[in-house]
Each structure stands twice: as structure tokens, then as C-alpha cells.
């Protein structure tokens, strides 16, 4: 009986102690023999290369970039990048995926095909940023590919200093994009941005800077130049960085991104996604820029140049999205009811009515050997034959019809004449097929029998 009572008292004591533990916070610092997952992982996650710890966002210290070729898949590139590094915590995984990598490389002017294969590698190469996450800690490493510049262990960095939001910023200049005003003076180591902020380059650890190349041309609005700078320390260790400079254009521009991109709102140094912008959208580029988390943003407007330069306008876009070639537009009339297609030739089951005036990209797209116009500021394509028509030669004299039993006029089109027809033929009530021809309008119908053409 005493033994049973002792067991019951012990259990009660444990329950009481457990309740106290649940109600009383533990001072982890005071309890040296107590460890938690959070305390172990709060700052111990980092990338390693050849067993050496890398600083967050470091460039992999390699003599040259990883070999890469046109035709290589993004999956292969990502797998190669992952194979070069390890993590301090073996159970943590690298979270970067192919979709994220696609966005990364496209922002560095790598051209891709529809199968996520590399179609063209820029001469400057590119970087793959790998990311790992654990309990709120995020670490990154950048892996150079192709001719992307690498760094030597312990070499000085090329840094840029500037004022933003009433504070001095100092960043590694590599891969940054700046924006300057057309016609302004430019020195690659000390220049003024379009936002009237001075950007000054320096080398860390008392290193010296050498400008290797400079292709910036402030006299060319809308142009993009590149600067390459090498930092050298007293031991002769070097690192070379490159950055780009966009010369701000004036007036309305047609956004030249591949398909679409996001606009953003910025407040107190934080960025939120805003409305989507499509290729070909009309925009105005403002003077103001900001660099947040090593990403450059430019204030824009879809209304006017004045609004683009107004501090009350809070619409921004990544500066890298502006460097694409401006889209040339043309306004034409759709002459035959036209199905809308996507970028790979699949029908969207929507139509554009005949005789509607539309604005298209001037460029002709060829999809599966068929010519298409792309509708401006929309991911929609229509067959060029419904707009420009097709030249056909008459094999015999022909009348022009308004309906199956009524001629449009008394004119006769002579054998051998080349006539522009639009789209596919129509089947009339008399069972015969006719092409709509040049000169037709919404109120003046003009058709010629298909059998009259070669």
C-alpha cells in the first residue's frame, strides 16, 4: 500500500512540475544544457564549396565559369549548379527550381526556347542563384556559367555606395543595373543616376580599381551598356565585376518583355506586386529608381511622362524589364473573321470580327510554318492571312459578287490579274465557295468564286 501511495505521489509531482513547465517560459541562455531546433539553426545554415564556408550571396570562387552550351536544358544547368555545393545542414534542401531559374536567366538576357532549353547565351555569361531555407533563415550562393566573372578567395570586392531613403547604401556592384539620363556625363567609377543620386565605386580592403571595359553611350536613349571593373589588393588578388547602365528614353515606349511581367508598389523599402503588364503595353519611363535587395526598380506610368516623373505615382517595374528592345506597333484592319491563337498555335476559341481595326506588333511571328500577327499588349495571335491577305492569280475572267445571286458591280476582273484574298473561303447559299477580296468593307461586299483562281 505504501508503494502504491509513493507511485501516486510521484506521478502527481511530475504532473505538477509539468504544469509549471508549461506555464513558465524557459530561459534558454540560462539553461546551458538545453538546446532547441531554432537556436541550433538560427545562424548555422550556409553553403560550402570544397569544404569551405561561403558568405551569404557569395559568388562561387572558381577560376572560370561552368561550361554551358546552346541547347542545354535549364534542368541540366540547375543540376550542375547544385552538384558544385553542399549545405552545412545535410537534411536541408536547395529550394531553387526550374521555374525560378527561368526567371533568373531571362533577366540576364539568356534566350530560351519553349522547352526551357538555352537558345542563346549572352557573351557575359550568367549566374545561377541557389537558395536554401530553414526555420526562417534564407541563404544564397551564385554559381557563374559561361563567361560570367568569378572571384578569387579573399579577393577584394567591387562595391558601390549611394544614398537611398536617407541612408548610405554599400553593395557589391556585380550584376546591378543603373539608369542614367540621356545626354548626361558618365564616368564608370563615379556617375549620377537619372534620379540625381551619385553612385561611387570603390574596392574593399583598400584595394584599387581598374576599368576593363565600358560600352555605355549616354547619347543613345533606350540603349544598354556594360561596365567591367577589376578590384586588386596589395597581395595581387583580384575580382572582376560587371554592371549594366540603361540610358533612359523619353516619350511613349512599347514594353519589350517576352510575354508579360509584373509591376510593383514600393513603400518603406518593401516591394509588393501590383498589376500585370503585357508585351507591347504603352509605358512612360520615369527618372526615379530604387535598388532593393540588389534588384533595380524604375518608376513608370501607363498614362504620361509627367505621371512617370511624379512622386505621387507608385507604379514601378524592374529596370531589367526595360532593357528589352522597344516593340514596334502597326494598326491594321482585320479583313476576315479571325480565330485567336496562343504562342504555340493552339486555338483559344475566341474570335476577332471582320473589319475591326487592331494594333499589332509589326513583327511577323511564324508558328508551325504559319504567319501570325501578335495583338499588342495581349498574349493573342491571329493569322496574317486574315489581315494582309494572300495574293492569288485569276485563271479566267471573273465577276465580283456581293451575294450568291447579285454582283457587286459591272466590272470584270481579267485573267492573269493578281487579286488579294482574305482568309478562308466562304460557302454561299448556292453551294459554291467564294473568297473575300481587296476593296471590301463592312458595307461594300466583294467576293470572287474560288474556282476562278489558279
Question: For residue 180, what is the domain's CATH number?
Answer: 2.60.40.10
Instruction: Note whether 111 and 162 are same-domain residues.
Output: no
3-state secondary structure 17-37: HHHHHHHCCCCCCCCCCCCCH
Per-residue pLDDT of the chain in tens (454 residues, 90 and over written 9): 444 434 343 433 433 434 333 333 333 222 222 222 222 333 589 999 998 898 888 888 887 899 999 999 999 999 999 999 999 998 999 999 998 999 899 888 899 998 999 999 988 789 999 999 998 788 999 999 998 766 666 778 899 999 999 999 999 998 899 999 999 999 999 999 999 999 999 999 889 999 999 999 999 999 999 999 999 998 888 888 999 999 999 999 999 988 889 999 999 889 999 999 999 999 999 999 999 988 999 999 999 999 999 999 999 999 999 998 889 999 999 999 999 999 999 999 899 999 999 999 999 999 999 999 999 988 899 999 999 999 999 999 999 999 999 999 999 999 999 999 999 999 999 999 999 999 999 999 999 999 999 9
Instruction: Note whether 128 and 214 are same-domain residues.
Output: no
Rg over CA atoms, the chain: 32
Instruction: Note whether 231 and 258 are same-domain residues.
Output: no
In a domain, residue 260? The reply is: yes
Residue 151: predicted pLDDT: 63
State the cell numbers at 425: 473561303
In a domain, residue 19? The reply is: no
Instruction: Note whether 114 and 52 are same-domain residues.
Output: yes
Instruction: Note whether 55 and 82 are same-domain residues.
Output: yes
In a domain, residue 243? The reply is: yes
Backbone angles phi, psi at 179, to 5 degrees: -130, 130
Instruction: Note whether 382 and 424 are same-domain residues.
Output: no
User: What is the largest distance, in Å, between two alpha-carbon atoms of the chain?
Assistant: 124
Range of the domain at 199: 158-248
Instruction: Note whether 189 and 225 are same-domain residues.
Output: yes
Residue 153: predicted pLDDT: 62
Single out the residue in 305, 321, 337 at which a domain terminates.
321
Count the helices and strands in the chain (H runs, E runs): 5, 34
Instruction: Note whether 128 and 213 are same-domain residues.
Output: no
Rounded Cα–Cα distance for residues 440 and 333 (Å): 11
Residue 152: predicted pLDDT: 64
Single out the residue in 386, 404, 435 at which a domain terminates.
386
In a domain, residue 30? The reply is: no
Beta strands in 13-95 (DSSP E): 47-49, 52-53, 58-59, 86-87
Instruction: Note whether 342 and 395 are same-domain residues.
Output: no
In a domain, residue 150? The reply is: no
- How many domains is the chain built from? 5
Single out the residue in 191, 226, 248 at which a domain terminates.
248
The residue written with cell numbers 519553349 in the block is 114
The residue written with cell numbers 513603400 in the block is 267
State the cell numbers at 81: 549548379
In a domain, residue 91? The reply is: yes
Burial class (CB in 10 A: 0-12, 13-18, 19+), 77: buried
85 neighbors 60 (Cβ within 8 angstroms)? yes
Rounded Cα–Cα distance for residues 380 and 348 (Å): 9
In a domain, residue 1? The reply is: no
Instruction: Note whether 273 and 214 are same-domain residues.
Output: no
Instruction: Note whether 195 and 278 are same-domain residues.
Output: no
Instruction: Note whether 225 and 267 are same-domain residues.
Output: no
In a domain, residue 239? The reply is: yes
Residue 302: predicted pLDDT: 96
Burial class (CB in 10 A: 0-12, 13-18, 19+), 20: exposed
Amino acid at each position: 500500500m505504501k508503494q502504491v501511495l509513493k507511485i501516486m505521489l510521484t506521478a502527481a509531482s511530475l504532473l505538477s512540475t509539468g504544469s509549471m513547465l508549461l506555464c513558465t517560459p524557459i530561459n534558454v541562455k540560462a539553461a546551458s544544457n538545453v538546446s532547441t531546433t531554432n537556436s541550433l539553426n538560427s545562424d548555422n545554415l550556409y553553403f560550402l564549396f570544397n569544404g569551405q564556408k561561403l558568405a551569404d550571396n557569395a559568388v562561387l570562387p572558381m577560376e572560370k565559369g561552368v561550361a554551358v552550351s546552346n541547347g542545354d536544358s535549364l534542368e541540366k544547368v540547375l543540376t550542375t549548379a547544385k552538384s558544385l555545393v553542399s549545405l552545412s545542414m545535410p537534411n536541408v534542401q536547395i529550394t531553387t527550381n526550374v521555374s525560378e531559374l527561368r526567371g533568373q536567366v531571362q533577366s540576364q538576357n539568356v534566350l530560351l526556347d519553349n522547352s526551357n532549353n538555352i537558345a542563346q547565351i549572352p557573351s557575359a555569361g550568367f549566374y545561377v542563384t541557389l537558395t536554401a531555407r530553414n526555420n526562417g533563415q534564407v541563404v544564397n550562393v551564385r554559381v557563374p556559367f559561361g563567361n560570367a566573372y568569378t572571384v578569387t578567395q579573399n579577393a577584394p570586392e567591387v562595391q558601390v555606395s549611394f544614398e537611398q531613403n536617407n541612408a548610405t547604401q554599400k553593395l557589391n556592384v556585380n550584376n546591378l543595373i543603373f539608369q542614367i539620363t540621356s545626354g548626361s556625363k558618365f564616368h564608370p567609377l563615379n556617375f549620377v543616376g537619372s534620379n540625381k543620386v551619385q553612385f561611387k565605386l570603390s574596392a574593399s580592403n583598400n584595394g584599387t580599381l581598374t576599368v576593363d571595359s565600358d560600352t555605355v553611350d549616354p547619347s543613345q536613349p533606350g540603349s544598354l551598356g556594360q561596365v567591367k571593373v577589376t578590384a586588386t589588393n596589395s597581395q595581387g588578388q583580384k575580382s572582376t565585376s560587371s554592371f549594366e547602365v540603361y540610358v533612359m528614353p523619353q516619350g511613349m515606349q512599347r514594353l519589350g518583355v517576352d510575354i508579360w511581367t509584373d509591376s510593383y508598389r514600393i513603400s518603406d523599402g518593401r516591394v509588393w506586386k501590383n498589376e500585370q503588364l503585357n508585351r507591347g503595353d504603352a509605358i512612360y519611363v520615369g527618372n526615379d529608381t530604387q535598388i532593393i535587395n540588389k534588384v533595380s526598380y524604375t518608376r513608370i506610368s501607363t498614362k504620361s511622362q509627367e505621371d512617370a516623373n511624379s512622386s505621387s505615382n507608385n507604379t514601378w517595374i524592374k529596370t531589367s524589364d526595360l532593357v528589352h528592345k522597344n516593340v514596334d506597333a502597326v494598326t491594321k484592319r482585320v479583313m476576315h473573321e479571325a480565330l485567336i491563337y496562343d504562342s504555340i498555335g493552339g486555338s483559344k476559341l475566341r474570335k476577332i470580327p471582320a473589319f475591326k481595326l487592331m494594333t499589332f506588333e509589326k513583327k511577323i511571328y511564324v508558328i508551325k510554318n504559319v504567319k501570325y500577327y501578335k495583338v499588342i499588349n495581349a498574349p493573342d495571335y491571329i493569322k496574317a492571312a486574315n489581315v494582309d491577305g494572300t495574293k492569288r492569280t485569276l485563271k479566267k475572267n471573273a465577276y465580283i459578287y456581293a451575294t450568291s445571286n447579285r454582283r457587286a458591280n459591272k466590272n470584270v476582273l481579267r485573267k492573269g490579274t493578281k487579286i488579294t484574298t482574305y482568309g478562308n473561303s466562304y460557302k454561299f447559299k448556292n453551294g459554291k465557295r467564294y473568297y473575300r477580296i481587296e476593296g471590301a468593307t463592312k458595307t461594300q461586299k466583294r467576293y470572287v468564286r474560288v474556282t476562278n483562281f489558279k
